[in-house]
Amino acid sequence: MDIDKRIDEMLPMLTAFRRELHEYPDLSGEEQPTCARLAEMLGRNGIEYKLMLDGTAAAASVGSAGNGKTVALRADTDALPLTEETGLPFASKKSGVMHACGHDIHTAAALGAAILLKEMEPELTGMVKIFFQPAEEGTGGAERMIAAGCLDAPHVSHVLGLHVNPAIAAGRAAFKFGKMHAASDEFTLILHGRGCHGAHPEEGCDAVAMAGQFITAIQNIASRGISPLDSAVVTVGKIEGGTKGNIIAGRVEMTGIMRSLSEETRLLLRRRLKETADGVAGLFGGRAELILRPSYGALINDDTVTKTVAAAARAAIGAENVIIKTEPTMGTEDFAYFAAARPSCFYELGCGFSDRETNFPLHSARFEADERCIRTGVKLQIRGALALLTNN
């Protein structure tokens, strides 16, 4: 089969489907309408699928595991709580909800890959599962799909995922070996002191002074606690405490995040944060109450799988359009759970307009994607899946 020709034939349908998703986006955990539309399209094309996680997720499959191994393609389907400001004719019809992270593109490309792989089924040496995953934006739909068994029966060997990037022109793609996205932990710290008159600080325990020392002290966690060649972020983004200028504050509460690029550094950040909080509170005779909320783990690509998929990409879109990134990002991505469970590859699909001076970033109310990237996305997902079925 001439894959490129078939993708070109399918492109108007896939673009229309993407625009439909864009007009009717669903927030994380509320993806039932998107999944119902996907189910209809999969069913119409004779593709087997099952709905999961209360109808917010779908897992399709083509081919037969009896013929070889099984690999998976993953698309996230959720949108963001934002009111769109693009003015596009197919802009979101749901006020306060927008596909500002391009997950509509991911979903349309994965559907295209599923339809084409179904047409290629007699030639497939193995099985390809296609995951339509909910709730990437915050609550970790990937982890729940894995817990629900999407990587088992039959056993999935590798997972391949992509994310659009408006800083890269449509038609191009970027790969990163090893560490790609950071791990994230959120925290709330409550510093308990003892309130009293502001003129007599010796009678109380000043939680505001404690907070000041704590915020200064945590700057040393990244700068002194980890290697200058590793990366970490410790941020306090919100702080509240005290009631009046002439009252010593008895309580300060702050929230923040910590980012790291390995499990080892992640554990170190957690430990040092707790030690610093307890140490500073102890100095003042107060008490620290630390609540840690672990978020996504670090996304680490498998080098062998990435090599295979990047080689397939070079063959599909030309070596001049394949970028190898050298720096990871401190942003997070819940594909990390797939990459932790199986040797996997996550890569970036350029969606920027090469003729525009400004391409608005992801999560902007003015984010737009050059839809020509759908063609590249379908091509790379199919070529990548076929390469993984025969290699590694």
Q: Which spans of this chain sit near Zn ion (rule: CB under 5 A)? A: 101
- Please state, in angstroms and rounded to a whole number, the distance separating the CA atoms of residues 338 and 159: 7
**Residue 163 annotated as binding?**
yes
Phi, psi of 237 (to 5 degrees): -100, -15
99 is known to lie in a ligand binding site: no
Cβ atoms of 210 and 284 closer than 8 Å = yes
**Residue 203, marked binder:** no
DSSP string covering 11-68, please?
A: HHHHHHHHHHHHHS--BTT--HHHHHHHHHHHHHTT-EEEEEGGGTEEEEEEE-GGGS
Nearer to Zn ion, 98 or 385 (CB): 98
Q: Residue type at 321?
A: N
In three-state secondary structure terms, 310 is helix
Q: CB of 177: closest distance to Zn ion in angstroms?
A: 21
Q: Based on CB atoms, which residue is closest to Zn ion, 101 or 386?
A: 101
User: Least distance (Å) from Zn ion to the CB of residue 163?
Assistant: 6
Please say which residue, 101 or 110, places its beta carbon nearer to Zn ion: 101
Task: Determine the Cα–Cα distance for residues 313 and 174; give it in Å rounded to an integer.
Answer: 10
**Nearest to Zn ion of 276, 364 (CB atom):** 364
Tell whether residue 351 is among the known ligand binding residues. no
In the complex, minimum distance from the CB of residue 136 to Zn ion, in angstroms, rounded to a whole number: 6
CB of 24 to Zn ion, least distance (A): 18
Structure-token match 């002439």, residue found: 246
Q: Which residues contact 93 (CB under 8 A, 6 or more apart)?
A: 23, 24
Rg of the chain on CA atoms, in Å: 24
**Rounded to whole angstroms, how far apart are CA atoms 352 and 133?**
24
Rank residues 351 and 387 by Cβ distance to Zn ion and give the closer one: 351
Which is nearer to Zn ion, 101 or 323 (by Cβ)? 101
Q: Is 103 annotated as a binding residue?
A: yes
Q: Kindly state the smallest distance separating residue 360's Cβ from Zn ion, in Å.
A: 13
The residue nearest Zn ion at its CB is: 101
Closest contact distance (angstroms) between CB of 38 and Zn ion is 18
Binding residues for Mn(2+): 101, 103, 137, 163, 363
Binding residues: 101, 103, 137, 163, 363
